[in-house]
Amino acid sequence: MKIVTIRDVAKAAGVSISTVSRVLNERQDVDPNTRARVEATVRKLNYIRNQSASNLKQQSKSCVGVILSGRRNAFLTDLAEEVMEAGHGSGFTFIMDIIDEKANQLLAARKLYMEYRLQGVIILGANLEGREEEVKKLELPQVYATIDAGFLGSSHISSVSIDHHAAGFEAASRLLQLGHRRIALLGYFSRGQDSTGARLHGAVAAMREAGIPYDESLFTEVNFTMPSAYMNVKRMLAEGRRFTALFAASDIMAIGAIRALHEQGLRVPDDVSVIGFDGIELGSFLAPSLTSVRQPTSLIAQESVRLMRELIETNQSRHVQVPYDWLPGETTALAKEA
Amino acid sequence: MKIVTIRDVAKAAGVSISTVSRVLNERQDVDPNTRARVEATVRKLNYIRNQSASNLKQQSKSCVGVILSGRRNAFLTDLAEEVMEAGHGSGFTFIMDIIDEKANQLLAARKLYMEYRLQGVIILGANLEGREEEVKKLELPQVYATIDAGFLGSSHISSVSIDHHAAGFEAASRLLQLGHRRIALLGYFSRGQDSTGARLHGAVAAMREAGIPYDESLFTEVNFTMPSAYMNVKRMLAEGRRFTALFAASDIMAIGAIRALHEQGLRVPDDVSVIGFDGIELGSFLAPSLTSVRQPTSLIAQESVRLMRELIETNQSRHVQVPYDWLPGETTALAKEA
DNA sequence: CTGAAAGCGCTTACAG
DNA sequence: CTGAAAGCGCTTACAG
């Protein structure tokens, strides 16, 4: 395939490459007639700009990196899509890097920044636990989506998230109101500086308020995949650890858990109530549909883009909290004992 | 953040940038001592190569594009991941473009090719129906995964796929053996040059062989999303179009269909048997688990990479067929009437 | 409003 | 085995 360069376009249109470049970059200081002629030539020759060459020079372009931790996390991939959509509308160009869930997001962000000369990086679903110093040393505009990074106190870092602790508190409260006393918890159980830990800590707080002490035997550590949730719940059941309700820190984990319950002959919600987290599309198409806590994907995406713009244009750091929704479903019911 | 360039590395290591470049590109004509010194400097300075600059020059690099049609298609996103994995091991660099399901893959391929000076493009989940000319005009090495592009007879095009027609035939045969006579079909119904059409045509052929003529009222056109399958099956049921089995051209569609059946009070598989297609991970975690036809993701991924290599290195075009697996599940049962 | 020229950070013949 | 130099295709002050 013949490669058409800006030089070919310039020659064919009878102008200099500077002028073609101006037209391509939609600068206003071009004569309308010239512009029209160049545009026609671009179309006729099927010219497509070489991104590498363009990026090499153009440092001021609003090219932003998006780090997606874990491609299997339906919530995050949805969020990534919405971020790109929200950004395209307002002139951002994105370059996305999908990394392993367990990979270091900060290293990935740094690498992407260097490789493509970005203006900043939006990091989806990060775990900042114990990485305060590392994050602060990364001196580039960062926006963390789904986690509150305010505690870092960094001037080049913004974030947008729901109140994970409150959401976890609400989920557990709903189960308590239905009469459940033995509630299993699925997820990571960190100190709570990350979103997942905060959800579980919130749930534990609700239980404690209801006079139910934390029962370690009802917690099982699970990474954010269906197989992991499935295996761990299966093991819990095999070990005779019984419960009438289960709160999973993600919908995907809830699905794996439900399968394990199903194989054990336990029915959802008749024998065990289940609440997930995130509110992914799939949840509402399951039978029974999944009860969950919805994170407002579009809103988080829009805020991420807005925060990135503020960080780039006015050097302003903010930490935004957005509301979550309770998502009623068919996997929760009154506890049998009640 | 300070940006470290190849010049900085050269200065710090006391060599020329040519030498640094040689080390970075793992050329063999470098003194071991010099190499070690440069590598140490690279690490010390945390140098990361500017991809734009590198790509601008280096046309011979094995950079391959991957076009993913539709991010919501779990099978294709899995496949994409496996392709990148298979390729990294063998020295390919990938640049992925996720486009809308309805967007033109060929335009996307061309654009990606021009923007990044690729060696070729791997296209996942394409529909070639009625685009023979357009595809052939795209004079760049193309590998189509999941569809047989042999009919194009193009020397710069290879492909790898299962026999979709046979797979569809088998799915329907299984339902027929279970005594089903009224079998609903979900998907696109094209002339059969695309994978989805072939699956449905295969199913129809099986039914015809069993003496069951094609009943248009049992077919519903659905795009590859859960909501679309859900809505359309809901409509079928509302219109009183009854069936005892359903074959969906993808697992995702099967899930949407099952939800519609559930809401109508029809139980799966007691009242309606369901077979999906693809064999995505989620299927086996549903309760009941989804009966399906598995496309061998890893194998398709590996073949795609191998075919691309052959196309680039030896200019050799091939069309490979890989086997599919029958994936037994819990959504199929004997027809009630039987 | 337009063009000639410098330069972005690399890679790669070429010469030694 | 190593370095100086040309050049990849663009963008962007600068001058007019």
Q: How many CB pairs under 8 A join A and B?
A: 104
- Whether B118 is in a domain gets the answer yes
The rounded distance, in Å, linking the Cα atoms of A53 and B51 is 10
Residue type, A79: L
Same domain, B122 and B227: no
Confidence of residue A85 (pLDDT cuts 50, 70, 90): confident
Using alpha carbons, list the distances in angstroms from residue B150 to A174, B18, B52, B117, B330.
Answer: 58, 45, 36, 26, 36
Same domain, B149 and B37: no
Q: So what's the pLDDT on residue B227? A: 95
> Gap from B4 CA to D4 C1', in Å?
22
Same domain, A127 and A148: yes
Confidence of residue A59 (pLDDT cuts 50, 70, 90): low
Residue type, A232: N
The answer to whether the Cβ–Cβ distance between B281 and A48 falls below 8 Å is no
Same domain, B128 and B184: no
Q: So what's the pLDDT on residue A286? A: 96
Residue B264, token pair as written in the block: 């109508």
Same domain, A168 and A263: yes
Q: How many CB atoms lie within 10 A of CB A253?
A: 30
Q: So what's the pLDDT on residue B220? A: 92
The rounded distance, in Å, linking the Cα atoms of B123 and B159 is 9
CB burial class (10 A; 0-12, 13-18, 19+) of residue B298?
Answer: middle
The rounded distance, in Å, linking the Cα atoms of A48 and A31 is 22
- In strand D, the nucleotides that come within 7 Å of a protein beta carbon are 1-5, 7-13
Residue type, A131: R
Summarize pLDDT for A145-175 with one digit per residue, the tens. 999 999 888 889 999 999 999 999 999 999 9
Longest dimension (CA), chain B: 85
- Whether B1 is in a domain gets the answer no
- Whether B41 is in a domain gets the answer yes
Q: List chain B residues with CB under 8 Å of A286.
A: 255, 259, 286
Q: Treating both helix axes as pointing N-terminal to C-terminal, what angle do A74-89 and A251-263 enclose, rounded to 10 degrees?
A: 160
B164 vs B60, higher pLDDT: B164
Q: Which helix (H) or strand (E) holds A124?
A: strand A120-124
The rounded distance, in Å, linking the Cα atoms of B55 and A68 is 24
* Domain total of chain B: 3
Q: What is the DSSP annotation of A236-247?
A: HHHTT---SEEE
Residues 312-331 of chain B with CB under 8 A from chain A are: none
The rounded distance, in Å, linking the Cα atoms of B95 and B301 is 15
Phi and psi, residue B129, nearest 5°: -45, 120
A113/B contact by beta carbon, under 8 A: yes
A285/B contact by beta carbon, under 8 A: yes
Q: Which of B4, B226, B285 sits opposite A255 (nearest CB)?
A: B285
Summarize pLDDT for A187-207 with one digit per residue, the tens. 988 766 788 889 999 999 999
**DSSP for residue A289:** P
Among A93-102, A137-146, A297-306, B186-195, the range with the most confident prediction by mean pLDDT is A297-306
Same domain, A170 and A236: yes
Same domain, A182 and A286: yes
Summarize pLDDT for A263-320 with one digit per residue, the tens. 999 999 999 999 999 999 999 999 999 999 999 999 999 999 999 989 888 889 999 9
A43/B contact by beta carbon, under 8 A: no
The answer, yes or no, to whether residue B338 has pLDDT greater than 60, is no
B262/A contact by beta carbon, under 8 A: yes
- Nearest to A335, CA basis, from A262, A243, A215: A243
- In terms of CA atoms, which chain A residue is nearest residue B253? A285
> Gap from A19 CA to C4 C1', in Å?
12
Give yes or no for CB of B32 within 7 Å of strand D. Answer: yes
B59 vs A93, higher pLDDT: A93
Q: List chain A residues with CB under 8 Å of B106.
A: none
Q: List chain A residues with CB under 8 Å of B116.
A: 50-52
B191/A contact by beta carbon, under 8 A: no
Confidence of residue B231 (pLDDT cuts 50, 70, 90): very high
Closest nucleotide relative to residue B19's CA, C1' based: D2
Region A46-58: mean pLDDT is: 81
Instruction: Provide the mean pLDDT of chain A.
Output: 90
Same domain, B102 and B33: no
- Whether B172 is in a domain gets the answer yes
Non-local (6+) Cβ contacts of A107 within 8 A are none
- Whether A157 is in a domain gets the answer yes
In this structure, are residues B326 and B174 in contact, taking their beta carbons and an 8 Å threshold? Answer: yes
Residue A113, token pair as written in the block: 């920044």
Same domain, B205 and B86: no
The answer to whether the Cβ–Cβ distance between A56 and B56 falls below 8 Å is yes
The rounded distance, in Å, linking the Cα atoms of A8 and A6 is 5
Pick among B45, B52, B268 to test the A interface (most A CBs inside 10 A): B52
The rounded distance, in Å, linking the Cα atoms of B303 and B322 is 9
Q: So what's the pLDDT on residue B59? A: 60
The rounded distance, in Å, linking the Cα atoms of A101 and A223 is 9
In this structure, are residues A75 and A276 in contact, taking their beta carbons and an 8 Å threshold? Answer: no
Question: Integer distance in angstroms from the first to the last C-alpha of chain B?
Answer: 72
Q: So what's the pLDDT on residue A183? A: 97
The answer to whether the Cβ–Cβ distance between A227 and B286 falls below 8 Å is no
- Nearest to A146, CA basis, from A286, A328, A321, A338: A321
Among A75-84, A222-231, B135-144, B247-256, the range with the most confident prediction by mean pLDDT is B247-256
Burial A23-32 (b: 16+ CB within 10 A, else e): bbeeeeebee
- Whether B69 is in a domain gets the answer yes
The answer to whether the Cβ–Cβ distance between A1 and B49 falls below 8 Å is no
> Gap from B10 CA to C8 C1', in Å?
18
Same domain, B180 and B288: yes
Distance from the Cα of A46 to chain B's closest Cα (Å) equals: 10
Distance from the Cα of B305 to chain A's closest Cα (Å) equals: 20
In this structure, are residues A275 and A248 in contact, taking their beta carbons and an 8 Å threshold? Answer: yes
- Whether B331 is in a domain gets the answer no
User: Which residues are paired to B54 by β-bridges?
Assistant: none
Q: So what's the pLDDT on residue B4? A: 86
Q: List chain B residues with CB under 8 Å of A88.
A: none
Q: List chain B residues with CB under 8 Å of A3.
A: 114, 117
Q: Give the HSE-up count for residue A171: Cα atoms under 13 Å, Cβ half-sphere.
A: 41
CATH for B173: 3.40.50.2300
Q: So what's the pLDDT on residue A291? A: 98
Same domain, A168 and A288: yes
β-strand A245-248 against A273-275: which pairing, if any? parallel
Among the residue ranges B204-213, B271-280, B307-316, the one predicted with the least confidence is B307-316
Summarize pLDDT for B47-96 with one digit per residue, the tens. 888 888 887 876 656 788 899 887 778 899 889 989 988 887 777 878 88
pTM reported for the whole predicted model: 0.88
Same domain, A267 and A170: yes
- In strand C, the nucleotides that come within 7 Å of a protein beta carbon are 1-5, 7-13
- Whether A125 is in a domain gets the answer yes
Q: So what's the pLDDT on residue A248? A: 97
Pick among A114, A253, A280 to test the B interface (most B CBs inside 10 A): A114
B94/A contact by beta carbon, under 8 A: no
Confidence of residue A1 (pLDDT cuts 50, 70, 90): low
**DSSP for residue B2:** P
- Residue B280 is part of which domain span? 164-295
Q: List chain A residues with CB under 8 Å of B262.
A: 287
Q: So what's the pLDDT on residue B61? A: 63
